[in-house]
Amino acid sequence: MNITASSPPHFLLCDDEAGVLLGASLLLRRSGFDPVSTLQDSRQVLPFLAQNSVAMVMLDLHMPHIGGLQLLGEIKQLYPDLPVVILTAMQDVKMAVACMKEGAMDYLLKPIEKERLLAIAEQTRQLYSLRRQVDTLKGYLLNDPKPHQEAFAGIVTNSTRMRSIFQYMEAIATTREPVLITGETGVGKESIAAAMHHLSGRSGAFVPVNVAGLDDMVFSDTLFGHRKGAYTGADQNRDGQIAKAVGGTLFLDEIGDLSETSQVKLLRLLQEKKYFPLGSDIGKHADIYVVAATNRAIKERILNGHFRADLYYRLAGHQVHLPPLRERVEDIALLVNHFLQDAARSVGKEPPTPTPELFSLLSSYSFPGNIRELRAMVFDAVAQHRRGVLSLRSFKEHILATQGYPDPTVPPHDALAQCGPQLSWPHTARPPTIKEAEEFLLHNALRASKGNQGVAASLLGITRQALNQRLARRKKGHDEMDASSP
């Protein structure tokens, strides 16, 4: 049995009762577990395992020719990691427990409880996926391959975590299994998909398609194309994106937003490797490498009934999860300098020099838009740049606006007012003393910046060092007051 095979694994059911096999196989198929294979003759189990990849075997305890307990022992001797589930009647529970001691994963009582069968099948499917990925990585590491640096030339990083992801990508690139890339918006999923295409060695084109917001008709027309007369306005034949990706890679971005009908069509494409242009009843072979991406929590959408579990497992033959930029702080300086070069080139300027304060400011920011957001910030700053070192002004404005802090360009009194009425001077009968005003501004700047001293200093219009000095004086004054208290 080869668990690295590109075809999906079988769920093998063996029972001499045809009715039991029919009911269990229908339940599994309707729940997205496919292919399901059934055998009534226990003598056929071992030959089947020798020829096919299998995620789970369900054996009846009492069968003609070879009983379940004997067959279990033979299977575990040949395939020790293969999950085997014993099917038995109520009076044979003790024997089923004995089978578990001999290596069975679990047992089911007749009549089969639907929820338990589906839960066990789901568990075995996940185990199969993990074993396949581990075996792929083992083979990759044992072969001691040379890294394909050119595939990652467009990805700017010095992150150990990203380097590990690159190694995994190299290991899985030749398996031809679909790859699902996950991560927040702006982390660079399309760049990773392009690298996967390069690593695959396929000679065809890399064809990206953003499927977010496409209704079923537009989705079908975009991917499959149409024949003349397929619908009003279809006055000539048109190839879809799949035809353009033949021999290459089809990258489906924002896959988590697909409608239910479109999910069914995509599932059929992945299963049959064939598609039908709109208006045609002649199928076309789809020789494509499929890479998909999403920023949605797909497993939550499956639980909520918004995404098909069977499609997820088809797409997630291999998974690559990209970390957000806030977890790659070591890459911020590299990315800033890279974007400074690009931005300056685009507007015909010399690249400005960033200050150490800029990197300190950016390292404390959460970057909800990740690399895409950082690029936009740098391009905006370069467009406004006139001479000298790169100003922090546009970066501060962006960060403060994004985090809901007041605009640092307005006077302090107005800036505090932007934070809400709770930041107004409480004593309307008199103005504050200088000491009171400083205490008031320090307190509210730190509160508005959620304790981030770099952002608080920017909000107050002073340097980080000046803020530290004022905070030290403030603490000393509080300590002296505490010491003089009775």
Per-position pLDDT tens, the chain of length 486: 655 445 678 999 999 999 999 999 999 998 888 899 999 999 999 999 999 999 999 999 889 989 888 999 999 999 998 999 999 887 777 887 888 888 999 989 888 999 999 999 988 988 887 787 777 666 655 555 555 778 898 899 989 899 889 989 988 887 788 999 999 999 999 999 999 999 998 999 999 999 998 999 999 999 999 998 888 888 899 999 999 999 999 999 999 999 999 999 999 999 888 999 999 988 899 999 999 999 999 989 998 889 998 899 889 989 999 999 999 999 999 999 999 999 999 999 899 999 888 988 898 888 999 999 999 999 999 999 988 889 998 998 898 887 654 444 444 444 444 444 444 555 555 677 787 788 888 887 787 776 777 777 777 777 777 888 888 887 776 655 555 555
Question: How many Cα atoms occupy the beta-carbon half-sphere of 2 within 13 Å?
Answer: 8
Query: Which CATH number characterizes residue 95's domain?
Result: 3.40.50.2300
> 108-130, pLDDT tens digit by residue?
988 899 999 999 998 898 888 77
For the chain, the 3-state helix, strand and coil shares in percent, each to the nearest 5, are: 55, 10, 35
Q: Are residues 414 and 485 in the same domain?
A: yes
Q: Are residues 255 and 361 in the same domain?
A: no
Provide the CA 20 distance to its chain's centre, in angstroms: 39
Q: Is residue 188 part of a domain?
A: yes
Q: Are residues 384 and 424 in the same domain?
A: no
Domain boundary pick from 300, 323, 346 = 323
Domain boundary pick from 378, 403, 428 = 403
CA distances from 306 to 259, 297, 299 (A): 8, 11, 10
Q: Are residues 103 and 174 in the same domain?
A: no
Number of H helices, E strands in the chain: 20, 14
Q: Is residue 174 part of a domain?
A: yes
Residue 99 CB partners (closer than 8 Å, separation 6+): 61, 68, 69, 72, 86, 107
Determine the Cα–Cα distance for residues 399 and 396; give it in Å rounded to an integer: 5
Q: Are residues 128 and 215 in the same domain?
A: no
* Residue of 120, 86, 121 whose CA lies nearest to 102: 86
Q: Is residue 306 part of a domain?
A: yes
Determine the Cα–Cα distance for residues 220 and 276; give it in Å rounded to an integer: 9
Q: Are residues 278 and 365 in the same domain?
A: no
Q: Is residue 305 part of a domain?
A: yes
Q: Is residue 395 part of a domain?
A: yes
Strand partners, 251: 208, 291
How much is the pLDDT for 468? 84
Provide the CA 465 distance to its chain's centre, in angstroms: 40
How much is the pLDDT for 420? 43
* Beta strand pairing call for 36-39 and 10-14: parallel
Range of the domain at 457: 405-486
CA distances from 26 to 10, 87, 121 (A): 14, 17, 13
Q: Are residues 377 and 411 in the same domain?
A: no
Determine the Cα–Cα distance for residues 184 and 23; give it in Å rounded to an integer: 41
Q: Are residues 416 and 393 in the same domain?
A: no
The dihedral formed by the CA atoms of 319, 323, 328 and 332, expressed in degrees to the nearest 10 = 100
How much is the pLDDT for 235? 86
How much is the pLDDT for 220? 93
How much is the pLDDT for 413? 43
Query: Which CATH number characterizes residue 376's domain?
Result: 1.10.8.60
Backbone φ and ψ of 157, nearest 5° = -165, 150
How much is the pLDDT for 139? 62
Q: Is residue 153 part of a domain?
A: no
Q: Is residue 151 part of a domain?
A: no
Q: Are residues 203 and 228 in the same domain?
A: yes
Determine the Cα–Cα distance for residues 485 and 480; give it in Å rounded to an integer: 9
How much is the pLDDT for 419? 46
Strand partners, 319: 180
Q: Are residues 133 and 30 in the same domain?
A: yes
Q: Is residue 145 part of a domain?
A: no
CB 441 within 8 A of CB 447: no
> 326-367, pLDDT tens digit by residue?
999 999 999 999 999 999 999 998 999 998 889 888 988 889
Domain boundary pick from 139, 172, 197 = 139
Residue 178 CB partners (closer than 8 Å, separation 6+): 270, 289, 290, 291, 292, 314, 315, 316, 317, 318
477: its two tokens: 């004054």
CB 294 within 8 A of CB 254: yes
Residue with tokens 């010399």: 350
What total of structural domains would you count in the chain?
A: 4
Q: Are residues 133 and 80 in the same domain?
A: yes
pTM for the whole structure: 0.64
Q: Are residues 471 and 365 in the same domain?
A: no
